[in-house]
Amino acid sequence: MLAVAAGWPLVRFLMPSGQGDSAGQVAIDRAQVALGTAHLFEYQGRPAVVLQPVPGEFVALSAVCTHLGCIVQWQEEESQFLCPCHAGRFSTDGSVVSGPPPKPLETLPVTLDGDQVLVG
């Protein structure tokens, strides 16, 4: 029982939060998504990420791994996402590069409006 209590914070960190009621578009300032970096945010109550892999191109993805639902982390040096649970790797477009994930990360619609990246 003590092991469960001690491990609970780690489980909550790695697992996504429950469904929220925030629907619609999320606006993110372009300045928050520098070239080659990723910006984590919440989309419809779930972790998501937007990145700029090449100048002026923005990609938004669910940050929830398709294997066990852990939250992926951006690895800037490799330009890939890494799932900390079982070392699954995803490319900048969300496709599986290696590991146990059975399918790509979910792609979210992105539009640009001036200095804003609109997701949703």
Question: Is it the case that residue 54 has pLDDT exceeding 80?
Answer: yes
| DSSP bridge pairs for 52 | 35
Q: Which residue has the tokens 């792609």?
A: 107
Question: Is it the case that residue 113 has pLDDT exceeding 90?
Answer: yes
Q: Contact 9/104 with Cβ under 8 angstroms? A: no
Q: What is the pLDDT of residue 24?
A: 86
Helix (H, G, I), strand (E, B) or coil at 90: strand
Amino acid residing at 33: V
The H-assigned helical ranges of the chain are: 2-14
List, in order, residues 6 or more apart from 5 with CB less than 8 Å away: none
Phi/psi of residue 117, nearest 5 degrees: -100, 120
**pLDDT band at 42; cut points 50, 70, 90:** very high
What the chain holds in terms of domains, given with CATH numbers, is: 2-119 (2.102.10.10)
pTM of the model: 0.79
Q: What is the pLDDT of residue 81?
A: 98
For the chain, give the percent of residues with pLDDT over 90. Answer: 80
